[in-house]
Structures are given as structure tokens and as C-alpha cells.
Amino acid sequence: MIVTSRIKEIRRQVARLHAELPRNELVVWTAGNVSARVPGEDLLVIKPSGVRYDEITPENMVVTDFDGTLVEGDLSPSSDTAAHAYVYRHMPTVGGVVHTHSTYATAWSARGEAIPCVLTMIADEFGGEIPVGPFALIGDDSIGRGIVETLRGHRSPAVLMRNHGVFTIGRDAGAAVKAAVMCEDVARTVHISRQIGEPLPIGQADIDSLYARYQNVYGQEPVT
């Protein structure tokens, strides 16, 4: 009963967070997805394959295990489920994964080029450049392996999978969505900057200071 109640709440959260992707112009048609780990279980909740964003409800979110096998739901899981499941299996602190083909960030991935740390916002959220992951085909856990290999030991919660799109991770699904929104924003800004001239890099010591402040000091203290 506890697990069932928890899954129902996560279905609601994941359905709600999917609305942020078209709202922030990160997806078109049925592309992209959000998933969340079910705490204490080797399970995840994810968008079903091919469902339009205006048709997403908590009830049609699906539950799979970490092999991508459908556990609960009437629809087929997203074609990216194997990638999400691989991340959860190999990065136990990750509670949420997001995939988008947002225009500017995906353009950087098509070039196979990392987004350099030339904005304080990049230092704040990503702790340095936003890295590029390897090219991988959809359908098995190849994309997941590329995500894990690239982000393991890296401060960035985002990776630009070459010739594909953006994957972001977070302590929960909300944090992963935030990273996806910010990734697209800085990708656009740096692109525009390069049309004017060469952006100025931020020194490593300043990146470290900005990252530490944003991650540990910025925002409101919890109410006790």
C-alpha cells in the first residue's frame, strides 16, 4: 500500500512536470520525456511512447523496472526508457532524468561541441562547461552508458548527446527539469554571443566560487 501510494504521487508529479517542457519551448509534438525514480524501489515512472503533451495525465504515466520492463500501465514506455533506467541503475543519487531536443542546445550537440563556461549562470548551475557525450543509437542502453560515462565525476547535470539532444539529471525530477530549462537558455545566449564575437571565459577559481555559492547558499533557508 505504501509503494502504491508513493507511485500515485510520483505519477502526478511526473505528469505535471511534463507540462514544463512545451511551456519552456523545449519540445515539439511528442518528443522528449521526464522520468522519476521511485524511492527505495528499482522502479521508475516515465511518459508513455508517442503520447502528445496535451494528452498526458497521471493515469497514463507508466512504471517500469530498471531493465525497462513495463510493471504498471496500459501503454508502451517511452523509447528512451532504457537510457533513463541505465542512469538510475548506475547513478544511485539521481532521482530524475529529462530528455529534450531543445533547439539551441541540440544545435550544439549537432556540432559535437561543449557549451563553454562563459556565463555566471553556467558556473552556477553546471559548475563548468556543459559536456558532449558520444553518439549512440536509440533502442538499448547505449545512450544511458554515454550519459553515465560523461557525467560521472562531472559537476554538470546536463550532457549534450552528440547528434541527438539533451539529457539532464537531478536529485529529483523537478531539478532535472530545471537543468533542462537552464541548459537551453544558456545555449541560446552563448550562441548569440558568438555571433558578435568570441565570448570571454570565466577563470576556474571564479567558476568554483560561483558554483559553491549557488549550490550551497543561494535560495531560502528551510523553515525549522
Query: Would you name the residues annotated as active-site residues?
Result: 124, 218
The sheet carrying 43-46 orders its strands as 70-72, 62-65, 43-46, 33-37, 96-100, 165-170, 158-161, 132-133
- Phi/psi region, residue 207 (left: phi>0; alpha: psi -120 to 50; beta: rest), is alpha
* Cα–Cα distances in angstroms (integers) from residue 146 to residues 33, 111, 126, 210, in the given order: 18, 17, 18, 28
